[in-house]
Amino acid sequence: MDLELRGKRALVTGSSSGLGAAIALELAAEGVSVAVHGRDRKRTGETASKIRDLGVEAVVTVGDLMKDEDAKAVADTALAELGGIDILVNNAGAVLRMDNPDWMDVAPQEWLDAYNLNMGATVRMSQHLVPGMKERGWGRVVNISSSGGSQCNGVLLDYCAPKAGVDNFTVNLSKNLAPHGITVNAVIPGTILTPAVERWLVTLREQLNWPDDIAHNERVYTTEFLPQPVPRLGRPRDIAVAVALLASPLSGYTTGALLRIDGGTAMAV
């Protein structure tokens, strides 16, 4: 299926590895020129090189999106190198406390840091890149949220709370931008087997006395710890293909959507 994306230009934040890299590569496979973003220049460059191998343009942007000046520099580089950005994928985010602390053990500044990264970066990059989309009368903003933003199971509270904010921001921003030809949607992944999630599984293994067997622990996670109908963790491409569809001209009637791709984790409508 042709998603009619060839010739579009995208910035994917947090795309030096993991889920973001999968999204960047999926867009590139559809003919999209991609600004790859990360905080490590070497890893960011490696992802950009893989995109160039697909025959499309890739540029490297490096910066800490928790900082206003870095966010502006990343946006400015992407705009200058690609001549504009049609698609913004706000993927940058992370669990800052991988030790799964009790909420009382998370200091107020740590809560603020979690919001700054997981929601603040989304707001910053949208403010920098949406104006150009409005001038051209076309654009796509796809925010990467988390099933934890709406389904609370008592873990990773400092990560899940700002993701709920991303969901709210997505819906509200969609109302503002639809008259300008810009759609704003969010993809809500379940637990996706990325390097960060592999580290999370190690934490759970140590806390819950699981064996040192990732296949076994994947089954336990999806059938006992966080039960879901599909008995496996997601893979990065499960998310990447959804992002590519939402980014395409074919999705012009879809905005303000919170698209769950979570193996059926959600237990309510």
Q: List the catalytic residues.
A: 159
Phi, psi (5° rounding) for residue 262? -140, 20
| CA distance to 11, 52, 60, 98, 110, per residue, from 33 (Å) | 9, 9, 12, 34, 36
For residues 105 and 114, what is the distance between their CA atoms, to the nearest angstrom?
14
Cβ(22)–Cβ(242) below 8 Å: no
pLDDT at 152: 62
Residue 192 Cα distances to 50, 178, 197, 201, 261, angstroms: 22, 30, 7, 11, 10
pLDDT, tens digit only, all 269 positions of the chain: 899 999 999 999 999 999 999 999 999 999 999 999 999 999 999 999 999 999 999 999 999 999 999 999 999 999 999 999 999 999 999 888 777 778 888 899 999 999 999 999 999 999 999 999 999 999 999 999 988 766 666 667 888 889 999 999 999 999 999 999 999 999 999 889 888 888 888 888 888 899 988 888 889 988 988 888 998 999 999 999 999 999 999 999 999 999 999 999 876 66
Q: Which two tokens stand for residue 228?
A: 């879901």
- The pTM score is 0.93
Encoding tokens for residue 26? 């999926």
DSSP states of 81-142 as a string? Answer: HHS--SEEEE-----S-TT---GGGS-HHHHHHHHIIIIIHHHHHHHHHHHHHHHHT-EEEE
What is the rounded CA–CA span in Å between residue 228 and residue 267? Answer: 9
Distance of CA 261 to the CA centre of its chain: 12
CB 141 within 8 A of CB 126: yes
Identify the CA nearest to 14 among candidates 57, 64, 85: 64
Question: Which residues are registered as beta bridge partners of 10?
Answer: 34, 87
Contacts of 225 (CB under 8 A, 6+ apart): 204, 208
Identify the pLDDT of residue 204: 86
Q: Is 141 left (phi over 0), alpha (psi -120 to 50) or beta?
A: beta
Residue 198, SS3? helix
SS3 of 269, please? coil
Distance CA 30, CA 260 (A): 23
* pLDDT in the model for residue 242: 98
pLDDT, position 157: 80
The Cα 120–Cα 110 span in angstroms is: 14
Torsion angles phi and psi, residue 205, rounded to 5: -60, -40
